[in-house]
Amino acid sequence: RFLVKGGLAGAAVYVAYDQGLLGSGIEGAEALKKAQETLPPAIQEWTDYLGWEVRAAQLPSTPKIDFSLSASWNKGVHTVMSALSVAPTRACEYTVEGWKYVKDLVK
């Protein structure tokens, strides 16, 4: 079982890497666009193959995603760096508050 699960996980990582999902933000955006173009015809093909009747009204439309991976990545990097830059100051403040609290408890 472990080997099967490990093989499936490895295959999933390989496919994600092969499709460009683990690359830069631009490659990820291109992979997302490609998936949005490919998915509806693939669903229709499978429903035809299985003999299911799916009307166009039953299938939800592909959501329009206005999402910039590079902008989100940059915002995350800025947030982390901002937190790291104030971390020493905050650590000193929390240490002082902790000592005050301990002193108050000892009194």
CA distance 16 to 9: 11
Q: What phi, psi does 23 have (nearest 5°)? A: -90, -150
Mean pLDDT of 83-92: 90
Q: Which residues in 57-70 are b (16+ Cβ under 10 Å) and which e?
A: eeeeeeeeeeeeee
Give percent of the chain above pLDDT 90.
13
pLDDT band at residue 54 under the 50/70/90 scheme: low
For 18-37, write each residue's pLDDT tens digit: 777 777 777 777 777 777 77
- Are the C-beta atoms of residues 5 and 11 closer than 8 Å to each other? no
Q: Which is more confident, 60 or 96? A: 96
Its pTM stands at 0.32
On whether the CB atoms of residues 20 and 31 are closer than 8 A, the answer is: yes
Per the model's pLDDT, the better-predicted residue between 43 and 7 turns out to be 7
